[in-house]
Structure formats: C-alpha cells, structure tokens
Amino acid sequence: MRVLVAALTAAVLWLVAAVAITWTALPSLRTDFYSSIPRDQIEVFQRSVALKTAAGADWIHAGWIADPEREIYRVWLRSGDDAWRLVETARYGSALLRDLHAGSDYEVRVEAVREGASREIGTAIVRTTAAGSGVLEKPVIAGPWRELFRPSKAGDYVNDHTVFRDASGRWRLLGITGPGRGDYGAEVRLAQGRAPDMAAAVGAETSADAAAAARPLGFGELLASGGMVEDEAVADFHQPAWAPHVIGDAGGLFHLFWSPHRLAHAVSLDGAHWYRRADAIARPSGWFFRDTMVFEAAPGQWLLYATSRGWWYSAVDLYQSFDLDHWQIIGTAWQSARGSERNALVSSAESPFVVQRKGRYYLSITYNNETGITAPLALALGHWTGGADAYNDTLIFASTDPYDFGQWRGRGHDSQLVGEIQAHAAEFVHDGSDDSWYATTCGWPLAATLTSGEVAAAALRWEPAAR
C-alpha cells in the first residue's frame, strides 16, 4: 500500500510540475502574429502582394497578406462559366483548395471583410497541373555512414545543419556548434565546412589534371575524398544560433536563416561570406519557435517550417512570405494529438525538412525529447535520458501538397507516415548532376550514437511505399 501511495504521489507531483512549468514558461515567450509587418502597414503590403497562387494536380493554394485582428477573408472559386461559389472563410492569409480536376483552369477571388464591408484582395486564374501525384515513395538508407564534416576551430561538434552549393558550385555546410559534448546555451556561432579545392580532392598532379578537376565535385565524390574542410565560423553575434538553413533566390542572392525564438536573416552574394540583416521575425506566432527550414512552393512564394508547441502537443508551424523578409503564420503543417508518444515541453517535432519528388512532398522530423520534465532537467545538467532510439528517430510524412502533412496520433493509427530512418536532424541532399540522393545525420556527443561530433552522410534510395 505504501508503495502504491508513493507512486501515486510521485505521479501527481510530476504532473503538477509539468503543468506549472508549462503554465509559466509558455506565456513568457514573446509571440505576435504581426512580428514581420507593422500593423499600420498591412494594407500597403496587401496592395503590393494582392493574391498569389500555387497549384498541384488536384489542389490550388491562395496566399495573401492578412490582418486577422480586424478582418476575415472570403475565398471564392469558379471553373469556366460556372457561377462564383464561396469555398472558404479564412482568418489567415492562406486557403488550400483540394479535390480539383487535374489540368483545369480555375478563377480564385479573395475579399477582405471588415465591420460588414468588403473589398477585393485579388483575383487570379490558375491551372492545376496535368501530371498526377506520382508513385508514393519512402527514403531508405542505402549505404554506410561516412564522415562529411567535423569542426575543430568553431566548436567540438555539429548538430542541426544545412547543406548547399555556393555560387561556384562548391558544396558547403553550416551547422550548430559549441564547446564540449553538447551545451545549447553556448551555441552562438555556426561551424562552416566546404568542399576542398577541386584539384586537391581528386589528386591532380599536372595542369591538365587540374583543368579537368576544375569542376564542382559531386556529393558522392566529396564523401569519397574524405569530406569537407573547415572554413571560418558564421553568425557569431553573441546570441543563440541554431538550425541554419540556406536558400537561393532567382536573383542569385543566398539567404541564411537561423533561430531560436526569432528568425534571424543574413544574405550573401557567393554563399560563403554573410551579411546580417534585421531579424525577419522578431516575435513569432508560436511558442518555442526554432529549427526553421525554408521551401519555395512557387516562384516568389516561400514557406517556413518551424518547430513549435501548443499547451501540450507538438507542432510544425507554417509561415508564408513573398519576399523572404516578411513572414506571417498561415497554420500548422504537422501536429501531434492524443495518442502521440512524445510531447516535450520544448516540442518533440525537431528539425523539420521538406523535399519534393515526383509530384509528392515529404516532411521529415526528428521525433525527439520525451514527454514531461525529466528529460529537459537532465539535459540542463548535461545528460540525455531518452536513449539512442529516441535521439535518432526520424519520421517521414508524405503529402500531395507542401501545406498539410496531417495529424500524428502515434504508431498504429492512420496518418500520412510513409517511412522512418535512424538519423538525427537529417537533411536529404539531392545531387542533380547524377540524380543521386543522400541523407545526413549529426548530434551532440553526449547523446548521439551514429556520430561522435561530426556530420555523417549515407547514400539514400527511394522505394515504393504503402500507407
């Protein structure tokens, strides 16, 4: 009886502590829907952006600048000579219209309604793509893990990271780093790796060899050559610098984003030297905003995926931008719900990453951090309590559009889950020169079992998936 009472007492104390921490910590985080656009400039941005659309085989997305404190939005649709029909009433600047006919023309109109009066935001004619959604696939690790990059100057390890080609075509990597075996409070710069000089990488001995080697290495060649060398650190601004992501725009400019609790932004002409801009998001909409990733959904339209958390469940929040400087939340791309196995105070949906392949979109998350207060308290003391399976658990979800990857109620329940790989903060790297794919993994030395401070990469193949 005493054992039972003690167990019940411990459980109640644990629950009270978890609720108390949640109740006090979440409201203290600075959040605001209008973090990127001042309230008095909303209508200026609305006129500038008007209505932007993206489309797939059976869906259309309408996007605009929203003012949810003062307006609601009506979305109208018509096909051919059909009459306009109201299809959605929205609060944010986003409407995903599904179950449409492939290869058909549609006209979309959005109007803002304020105090009973309405005005048009914009009208657009858009065609769904004729191609289908392709075969549903899943990524599978298809080779051994090989070291890609290990820092020695900027820090002692790499955690969440980004891999990209710079203006010269050379592969580069930026990643979280810090001293020791893992200390998130000391992660204030980004380690930078780059592919070695081409001639040196292939062992060129003559001028003819050097000329032949004066081309960007393929990713497989880079791994075979021994991986990357360290370049000077980036983003040492004496603020936390986590989860970098790099994307290029149509003008040839590179954009670097990182977090937490804000979206920092830097730009580069060459992908190697970075210049800090003002924060793109000073006050995000969601709590525990971090691990951001940017994806171009259509020309001039970008989506930002960010780790977040509600009062209990984990989420990947979804933001929208039309210039990479100003962002607004438009909803959640993925969220956990009753039945989900992990919902940590700081969120268990880490390192979201999206790729498009053959008409499908795939979201991976590192399903990390156990529910409750034990894990974060232990982590603050430099101990990982979740085990290797939790640290390296990456789930892959599929969708026919990049806006909605469903709800997660745990294994064994119907969801958009198509695969799972053993990796931490995985990136999926596509080398277009030979159409090859690779996965990466990394992590704190105090917890990682696949690596010991380095980023490693392995060949990846795509196999048909059943769901």
- Do residues 141 and 421 touch, judged by C-beta distance below 8 A? yes
pLDDT for residue 139: 97
Beta bridge partners of 446: none
Beta bridge partners of 353: 364
pLDDT for residue 11: 47
Helix or strand or coil: residue 313? coil
Instruction: Output phi, psi for 404, to 5 deg.
Output: -145, 115
Beta-carbon contacts of residue 370 (< 8 Å; ≥ 6 apart): 342, 344, 348, 385, 386, 390
What b/e readout covers 404-424, taking b as 16+ CB neighbours within 10 angstroms? bbbbbeeeeeebbbbbbbbbb
105: left (phi over 0), alpha (psi -120 to 50) or beta: beta
User: Rg of the chain's alpha carbons, rounded to an integer?
Assistant: 23
Cα–Cα dist 423/427, whole Å: 9
Closest CA to 335 of 307, 372, 298: 307
Per-residue pLDDT in tens (0 to 9) along the chain, 467 residues: 666 655 565 444 444 445 444 544 445 567 888 888 999 999 999 999 999 999 999 999 999 999 999 999 999 999 988 899 999 999 999 999 999 999 999 999 999 999 989 999 999 999 999 877 678 999 999 999 999 999 999 999 999 999 999 999 999 999 999 999 998 889 999 999 999 986 555 555 555 555 555 689 999 999 999 999 999 999 777 789 999 999 999 999 999 999 999 999 999 999 999 998 889 999 999 889 999 999 999 999 999 999 999 888 999 999 999 999 999 999 999 999 999 999 888 899 999 999 999 999 999 999 988 876 666 666 666 767 777 678 999 999 999 999 999 999 998 888 899 999 999 999 999 999 999 999 999 999 999 999 999 999 999 999 999 86
Cα–Cα dist 14/429, whole Å: 41
pLDDT for residue 23: 46
Instruction: Output phi, psi for 117, to 5 deg.
Output: -95, 145
Cα–Cα dist 130/135, whole Å: 15
Cα–Cα dist 176/154, whole Å: 10
What is the domain partition of the chain in residue ranges? 39-127, 137-464
The H or E element spanning position 119 is: strand 117-127
Cα–Cα dist 355/357, whole Å: 7
Cα–Cα dist 383/88, whole Å: 48
CATH architecture for residues 39-127: Sandwich (2.60)
Q: Which fold has domain 137-464?
A: Tachylectin-2; Chain A (2.115.10)
The structure's pTM equals: 0.92
Q: Do domains 39-127 and 137-464 have the same CATH topology?
A: no
The H or E element spanning position 57 is: none
Task: Decide the pairing of beta strands 314-321 and 436-441.
Answer: unpaired
